[in-house]
Amino acid sequence: MPHGWTGKILRVDLTEGRATPEDLNMPWARQYIGGRGLGTRYLYEEMDPSADALSPENKVIFATGPMTGTYAPTGGRYMVICKSPLTGAVACSNSGGYWGPELKFAGYDMIILEGRSPNPVYLWINNDGVEFRDASHLWGKNTEESEDTIRRETDPQARISGIGVAGEKLNRFACIINDKSRAAGRSGVGAAMGSKNIKAIAVRGTGAVEVADQLKFGELVFDSMRLINESPTTSKALRGMGTASTVAFANSIGMLPTNNFQQGQFELADNVSGQTIANTVLRRNKGCYACPIGCARVTETSGETKWKGHGEGPEYETIFGLGTDCGVGELDAVLYANYACNLYGIDTISAGGTVAVAMELRERGYIPDEDLADLGTDLKFGNADAVIRCLEMMTTREGKFGDLLAEGGYRLAEHYGHAELFMGSKKQDFAAYDPRAAKGMGLGYATSNRGGCHMRGYSMKVEWFAPMEERLDPFAEEGKAAALIKLQHDAAGIDSVGMCDFSAYAVPPERQVELYETCTGEETSREEWDEIGERIWNLERLFNNRAGLTRQDDSLPPRMTEEPLSGGAVQNQVVALEGMLAEYYRLRGWDDDGNPSAETLERLNIQ
């Protein structure tokens, strides 16, 4: 029996209503680790990347890493891998909470969903037992109602991962929610799940994850906890204010996206800052499985407000998406919109980005009055009622405008003849960092294999957050390609091993390698670890190329490359992408069109 990995996957044929355990492909596991890497390897092998993402030919893979379910700090992550309904590229969405470890405790490293159920179902996995259960009574329910109902029908200690109404309605940026508030958030993985007529996967496991060298692993875990407690980022910023601690910083330097990235500073930023949240609406911290950081916020709207609610969040990306990017500075409204997205099952970044695009389209006169007949309020920046109403409409595809919103910001802008107003790459919305203030982020958005994304190579680490003597000039293009490639490989490794990216602010890749070795018993050097990250990145690129994506998809909207941003520390900046992109391709061993060379694939043992 392997260590770290359980050595088993569960293949679920939804068309036939059949679930079959299989042995994990251990040679692939050693090449791709688990999670993101191993899930992508299975996806690449088993489906045609050119297939429609909402067809039964797409596969939805839930993949854990070898350290998921161990006591490694933040070892609670799992990934959802499929072809993205939003981008048409590979989708790989990361979530925490407790569902991933529970799957390992039930004895599985991975679940592969195939085909399409003729009727709504949910899957109940109770250790070795697997049942298909009718979900017709759950269809139309929000994520909390569904989870509570399923737990009553199965086991009070079951962990549930599933979709809300947005996933059922095939909203292209629907997400998958587990533990009521943890989201596999980006790229529309919830729509892919909804297209298969499966509402949720409930799991109860009573096993354990065995590690190869318990004594050494425990020593490394103990020392990693020390590093996390000593790091200002993990022990103070994230533990103290969560990701919302970034609001004030980004606004002060002039890179907080405002009004669909038309500005980089928001006059009401203090209203929605991490400090304001901590002082007013925060009720307690919360952490995922084996997490010593506790970055999540449990909040409740203030007493006198028309937006009543409580739940988890908001994250920095949500404050940007549903707040600053839409010109909304009312904290209660942002909180309420955040809670609604969790209930509906939609990605807060793409939801907010889509509304921001709509607001600018309307501001410029591109959306006629008749298309907004069902909205019931003015579609303009700063109108919180418009944000919340748009969320409702995009979730259920209400009317013509709701149907357009559910297609995402790129398709919405394209419909009205102005795709250039969409702020994203590969049809996926940017995150909360204006790349004109951090050029590496621009290259990272453009080259991210899953579309505009900050988690695939977070250059802010070296452009703004590194010690001064190690920092790269955020306004320069030089050196960004090499730095980004290293960050992309590191991100692929931690996504695959089953730990949270936030732990990497304190636990360096060298320590991650040691944890992996003592967990699995597999000897791996730092150089081999980098090569695994590179192998994962190139395999994802191959999937995208086979899906029809080309160099022209490694792009930024003209606002980023032609319209200067100024404010704070940012003065008259645009992103000169083409030079960085050419250097990036050269360093990766790709041709001028972004195709990995035969030599690169041979060196990485990708056949």
pLDDT per position as a tens digit, 31-83: 999 999 999 999 999 999 999 999 999 999 999 999 999 999 999 999 999 99
Residue 468: domain span: 438-505+525-603
Domain assignment present for residue 516? The answer is: no
Q: Which residues of the chain have pLDDT under 50?
A: none
DSSP letter for each residue of 342-361: HHHTB-HHHHHHHHHHHHHH
CA angle 457, 458, 459 (to 5 degrees): 100
| Alpha-carbon gap, residue 202 to 103, rounded angstroms | 9
CATH of the domain at 191: 3.60.9.10
Q: How far is CA 375 from its chain centroid?
A: 29
The tally of domains found in the chain comes to 3
Same-domain pairing of 477 and 423: no
- The count of C-alpha atoms lying within 13 angstroms of the C-alpha of 489, restricted to the half-sphere facing its C-beta, is 19
Judge whether 310 lies within some domain. Answer: yes
Residues 6+ apart with CB under 8 A from 286: 294, 296, 297, 298, 312
Q: Say what the pLDDT of residue 305 is.
A: 86
How far is residue 493's CA from residue 511's CA, in Å, rounded to a whole number?
Answer: 12
CATH number of the domain bearing residue 599 = 1.10.599.10
pTM of the complete model:
0.98
Q: Tell me: do 331 and 365 sit in the same domain.
A: yes
541-571 pLDDT tens trace:
999 999 999 999 999 999 999 999 999 999 9
- 451 and 471 housed in the same domain: yes
The whole-number pLDDT of residue 304 equals: 80
Looking at the fold, whether 273 and 382 belong to one and the same domain comes out as yes
> Is residue 210 included in any domain, yes or no?
no
Mark whether 40 and 136 lie in a shared domain. Answer: yes
Instruction: Find the angle CA(552)-CA(454)-CA(316) to the nearest 5 degrees.
Output: 140
DSSP line for 403-438: HHHTT-HHHHHHHTT-GGG--EETTEE--SS-GGG-
Nearest to 484, CA basis, from 452, 543, 442, 440: 440
Residues 328 and 360 occupy one common structural domain:
yes
Angle at 411 (CA atoms; ends 393, 450), nearest 5 degrees? 105
What pLDDT does 114 receive?
Answer: 98
Question: What is the rounded CA–CA span in Å between residue 568 and residue 249?
Answer: 11
Q: What is the CATH number of the domain that holds 369?
A: 1.10.569.10
Question: Is the same domain home to 450 and 419?
Answer: no
Residue-level pLDDT at 1: 75
130 close to 124: Cβ distance less than 8 angstroms: yes
Residue type, 274: G
> Within this chain, do residues 409 and 277 fall inside the same structural domain, yes or no?
yes
Q: How many other C-beta atoms are found inside a 10 Å radius of the C-beta of residue 9?
A: 23
Question: Is 162 within the bounds of a domain?
Answer: yes
One domain for residues 450 and 579: yes
The per-residue DSSP string of 158-200 comes to -EEEE--HHHHTT-TTB-EEETTTEEE-STTHHHHHHHTTEEE
Q: Is residue 592 part of a domain?
A: yes
Q: Report which DSSP code applies to 465.
A: S
